[in-house]
Chain A
Amino acid sequence: MSWFKQVLSSTIGKKIIMSLTGLFLISFLIVHLSGNMLLFKDDEGEAFNLYAEFMTTNPLIRIISIVLYAGIIIHVIYSLILSLHNKKARPVGYAEARPQQNSSWKSRNMGILGLIILIFLLIHMRSFWYEMHFGSVPTKSYAGVEVDDLYTVVVAAFSQWWYAGFYVLAMIGLAFHLSHGFWSAFQTLGLNHRKFMPMIKKISLLFAIVVPLLFASMPVYFFIKSLA
């Protein structure tokens, strides 16, 4: 076996792939969140629509987005491979188990939390990404330039209570996935030192609260606005 195949066949190698793709997805969350904050700008969606236009047409962004899709797919595939492998490692379970006394619920349910995120991603992509690329989105022109009016699509989606509610639930799932995943990725890469791990764990928790909270604030804001 070549050394690379050996790495991929090892459980530690697979976990390193999980951690690298996970950290990459975390960096993507930051970019995605900062862009989407433009939704809050009180300009009838002009800044957001221009940003969305840039993100769908810029060639560099298009290349990065392919890397991103690959990142998600690899993360999901390896999570499946590892979960199946881990299930196989204990064919007969315990009759009486009290795992809550030695570990956190989120750390034991990264697969379920990931599945919630995956279902969310599929619905999310269907509503916005698919509509932008293959659907019929109304257009608007700014200073003579005609662009897709994604803002109106977003506002319409978020004014449905079940859609906004589903977003909030999915973001709670993301919060738990991140609050374990963030520091866990550093541990997997071997970057655990008594000196700086307490800080990584604090940043991990802060990130896991702030980022999903800001994402969730968007559907909540537009849902409340739709009631007025």
Chain B
Amino acid sequence: MNVTLKIWRQKNATDKGRFETYEMKDINTHMSFLELIDVLNEKLEMEGKEPIHFDHDCREGICGSCAMYINGRPHGPMKGTTACQLHMRHFKDGELITVEPWRARAFPVIKDLMVDRSAFDRIIQAGGYISVNTGGVPDANEIPVSKEVADEAFNAATCIGCGACVAACKNASAMLFVSAKISQLALLPQGQVERQRRADKMIAQMDAEGFGACTNTQACSAECPKEIDMVNIARLNWEFVKAKMHSKAIEVDE
């Protein structure tokens, strides 16, 4: 099959950037979208041109690296699919495919399709962990957790931090990501000790990074490759209310 790629090229963070168009002839329909760019990059390198920079790592849909906005949607047209798992058979022969980087103030472009997503890391650093002293390995099932709660926590824990939720949201809001990261701990006994502090700090960091607010359009959940549910955002809102309204700390520390 043949397709035309219209890809965002930008030298560095300060470059204005522009689209460039590439004709791709006789491509294998079983190729993934990243492999298509690999083929293009090989050609560009042979011609002595700068290859297209993009993030990738696992290429099996579990690391969340392959951030790209394909034909007006994060990770392209398939539901619950990352760009590395998106195959060319889902496109039409002769189709024009537009590829852009994630667009958000909190995700500045580094080069071409590559954006800086360390804002997510700083949100996790602010409180997305539990503190445990090291020691002997605890026995399995020592702490009872019901199947329903464990499933809900595990579903939240499938978030791969890809940023598609931010890319999809009209407000570039990170609520789905933060809600998944807060839920996976808030639901389990191990997450209770730091629960209020965690919600407080992570939400404050989310705002400080310059992400937008949530309008509940549900675009994030619809585009999430792990199909993280909107219920998590409601849980995040509730965690906020609890952290602010009946926080255990009488004085706020800053």
Chain A residues packing against B (C-beta within 8 Å): 1-3, 6-7, 9-16, 82, 85-86, 88-99, 101-104, 107-108, 110, 180, 183-184, 186-194, 197
Interface status of B216 (Cβ within 8 A of chain A)? yes
A184 to B216, CA, bound (A): 6
Per-position binary interface string of chain B over residues 185-227, scored 1 when its CB falls under 8 Å from any chain A CB and 0 otherwise: 0000000000000000001101100111111111100110000
**Chain A contacts for B231, CB-based, 8 A:** 192-194, 197
**Chain A contacts for B56, CB-based, 8 A:** none
Interface status of B125 (Cβ within 8 A of chain A)? no
The answer on a CB contact under 8 Å between A86 and B234 is no
**Chain B contacts for A98, CB-based, 8 A:** 71-73
- Interface SS of B by simple majority: mixed
Residue in A92, A183, A189 whose beta carbon sits within 8 Å of that of B237 in the complex: A189
**Chain B contacts for A2, CB-based, 8 A:** 252
How near does chain B come to A85, taking the closest CB pair, in angstroms? 6
The answer on a CB contact under 8 Å between A107 and B217 is yes
Interface-lining segment among B37-45, B85-93, B97-105, B133-141: B97-105
**Chain B contacts for A184, CB-based, 8 A:** 215-216
Chain B residues packing against A (C-beta within 8 Å): 8, 19, 69, 71-73, 77, 98, 100, 103-106, 168, 170-173, 203-204, 206-207, 210-219, 222-223, 230-231, 233-241, 244, 247, 252, 254
The answer on a CB contact under 8 Å between A96 and B207 is no
How near does chain B come to A128, taking the closest CB pair, in angstroms? 32
**Chain B contacts for A92, CB-based, 8 A:** 103
Residue in A9, A11, A103 whose beta carbon sits within 8 Å of that of B214 in the complex: A11
How near does chain A come to B251, taking the closest CB pair, in angstroms? 9
- Interface SS of A by simple majority: helix
B229: nearest chain-A partner, CB-CB: A194
> Given A90-B103, A93-B103, A107-B216, is A7 in contact with B223 using a C-beta cutoff of 8 Å?
no
> Given A104-B217, A110-B215, is A190 in contact with B237 using a C-beta cutoff of 8 Å?
yes
The answer on a CB contact under 8 Å between A102 and B222 is yes
Residue in A13, A15, A94, A99 whose beta carbon sits within 8 Å of that of B103 in the complex: A94
Instruction: Specify which of B211, B234, B247, B254 lies most central, judged by the most chain A CB atoms within 10 Å of its CB.
Output: B234
The answer on a CB contact under 8 Å between A108 and B170 is yes
Residue in B77, B204, B215, B233 whose beta carbon sits within 8 Å of that of A107 in the complex: B215
Residue in B103, B213, B234 whose beta carbon sits within 8 Å of that of A192 in the complex: B234
The answer on a CB contact under 8 Å between B216 and A187 is yes
A103 to B239, CA, bound (A): 25
Question: What are 27 sample pairs from A and B whose C-beta atoms fall under 8 A apart?
Answer: A3-B247, A6-B244, A10-B204, A11-B213, A11-B214, A12-B203, A13-B240, A13-B244, A14-B213, A86-B212, A88-B210, A89-B106, A89-B211, A90-B172, A90-B212, A94-B103, A95-B100, A98-B71, A99-B219, A102-B223, A103-B219, A187-B230, A187-B234, A189-B237, A189-B241, A190-B235, A191-B234
A53 to B19, CA, bound (A): 65
> Given A102-B219, A103-B222, A187-B230, is A96 in contact with B203 using a C-beta cutoff of 8 Å?
no
> Given A12-B203, A89-B172, is A94 in contact with B216 using a C-beta cutoff of 8 Å?
no
**Chain B contacts for A191, CB-based, 8 A:** 234, 238
A222 to B240, CA, bound (A): 49
How near does chain A come to B182, taking the closest CB pair, in angstroms? 11
Residue in B98, B171, B213, B214 whose beta carbon sits within 8 Å of that of A95 in the complex: B98
Sort A-B residue pairs by CB-CB distance and give the 8 closest, nearest first: A190-B238, A98-B72, A192-B234, A89-B212, A86-B171, A11-B213, A96-B98, A89-B172
The answer on a CB contact under 8 Å between B100 and A96 is yes
A131 to B188, CA, bound (A): 60
**Chain A contacts for B211, CB-based, 8 A:** 11, 89
A189 to B237, CA, bound (A): 6
A43 to B203, CA, bound (A): 58
A14 to B158, CA, bound (A): 29
The answer on a CB contact under 8 Å between A108 and B103 is no
Residue in B19, B173, B207, B218 whose beta carbon sits within 8 Å of that of A103 in the complex: B218
The answer on a CB contact under 8 Å between A103 and B217 is yes
> Given A10-B207, A102-B219, A103-B218, is A94 in contact with B69 using a C-beta cutoff of 8 Å?
yes
> Given A1-B252, A16-B241, A98-B71, is A85 in contact with B213 using a C-beta cutoff of 8 Å?
yes
